[in-house]
Amino acid sequence: MILEKVINRIVIQSEYKDFVDKYIENILTEFKGKIHSIYMCGSIPKGTAKPFKSDADFTIVCVNPKDIDYERLSKIKDRLLEEYPVLTKIDTTICSIDDVLSKPNEWGFWVKIICVCIYGHDVGEKVPPINISPEFILDLNTETKEEVDRIHRLLSNASDNTMKTRYIKGYSKRLIRALYSLVLEDTGVWQDDIIKMKNAILNYCEIDSALVDYLYACYLDSNNVLVEEFLGIADEVYSYFENALNAMAASRTSFD
C-alpha cells in the first residue's frame, strides 16, 4: 500500500497569506543563495488555521544545513511573531537535499508526504513512492527515542509554566504520533488530524485506552497538568511503543 500526500493542494486563508509571503521573503534575503526550497505543513496550508490558536510549521531544504544560522533564523521568527500576533509560534525544520533523497523513509517521508512546497522546486517529487511496511515504520521511528528523551529532559528541567505547558502539549502529540505509526498497516493513510490518530490507535492498538485518552486530554489542555504524573504516564506509553517496535523488528528479522 502506497502512502498518499497529506495535503493535496494549498489553501492558505487570507489572514495568513501576507505572513507566509513575508516569511519566504525574509528567509531568502537573510540566507541569499543558500535555500533550495521551502515547505509548510499543518493547518495553515490546509486552510484550517485558527487565529491566535494555530502555529506555523516550515521546513527549509538546502544543500548544507550549516549554512542556516539558527540565531539569525530566530530573529526572523521573533520579528514576524511581533508583526503577526495571530500566530502562537513559528517552527522551522532544516534538512539537506541529500537527507531527503538518501533517507526516503525518514526525511523523504516528511517532505513528500507531510509537507507542501511553497517556494522552489519540490524535492519530494524525486522521492520514490513510499510503501507502508514494517521496514518503513521502523525507519520512520529511527529518531523517536532521541526526540522523546530530549523533550523528557526539557520538561523535567522546566521551571517556567509557559514552557511546561508547551512541552507537555508537544510531548503528548509526539507520543500519539509514534503510536499512530504502529497502526499504519491497518489504516493505510498518514493522518495529521490528532483526533483521527487517537481514534485509530484506540481501534487497532492493544494499549490501555485510558493512557491514550490522558495524552489526548493533555494535548488539548496542558495548563493544569501535573508534570510528575504526566512524565510517569508518558514513560508507560513509550514503554508500550518501544516493546511494539522491538516486536516488529524481531518479526521482520525472522522473515529475512
Give a yes or no: residue 5 inside a domain.
no
Residue carrying the nine cell digits 544543500: 63
Give a yes or no: residue 69 inside a domain.
yes
Same domain, 93 and 159: no
Same domain, 124 and 146: no
Domain limits for position 31: 14-131
Confidence band for 234, pLDDT divided at 50, 70 and 90: very high
The CA distance from 158 to 92, in Å, is: 22
Boundary (domain end) residue, out of 80, 109, 131 = 131
Write the burial class of residue 229 (CB in 10 Å: 0-12 exposed, 13-18 middle, 19+ buried). Answer: exposed
pLDDT at position 53 is 87
Give a yes or no: residue 7 inside a domain.
no
Tell me: pLDDT of 254 over 60: no
Confidence band for 231, pLDDT divided at 50, 70 and 90: very high
Same domain, 61 and 87: yes
Boundary (domain end) residue, out of 131, 148, 171 = 131
Tell me: pLDDT of 256 over 60: no
On average, the pLDDT of the chain sits at 93
Per-residue pLDDT tens for 130-143? Answer: 999 999 999 999 98
* Residue 38 belongs to domain with CATH number: 3.30.460.10
Same domain, 189 and 157: yes
Give a yes or no: residue 8 inside a domain.
no
The CA distance from 79 to 61, in Å, is: 22
Same domain, 144 and 125: no
Boundary (domain end) residue, out of 99, 131, 163 = 131
Same domain, 147 and 238: yes
Same domain, 120 and 21: yes
Tell me: pLDDT of 87 over 60: yes
Write the burial class of residue 80 (CB in 10 Å: 0-12 exposed, 13-18 middle, 19+ buried). Answer: middle
Domains identified in the chain, total number: 2
Confidence band for 251, pLDDT divided at 50, 70 and 90: confident
Mean pLDDT of 218-222: 92
Same domain, 154 and 240: yes
Give a yes or no: residue 3 inside a domain.
no
Per-residue pLDDT tens for 167-178? Answer: 999 999 999 999
Q: What is the pTM of this model?
A: 0.84
Per-residue pLDDT tens for 189-202? Answer: 998 889 999 999 99
Tell me: pLDDT of 253 over 80: no
**Within 10 A of 153 (CB to CB), how many other CB atoms are there?**
11
Same domain, 195 and 236: yes
Identify the weakest region by mean pLDDT among 20-24, 160-164, 212-216. Answer: 160-164
Which residues does 215 contact at the CB level (< 8 Å), separation at least 6? 172, 175, 176, 233, 234, 237
The larger pLDDT score, comparing residue 231 to residue 162, is at: 231
Same domain, 165 and 63: no
Give a yes or no: residue 149 inside a domain.
yes
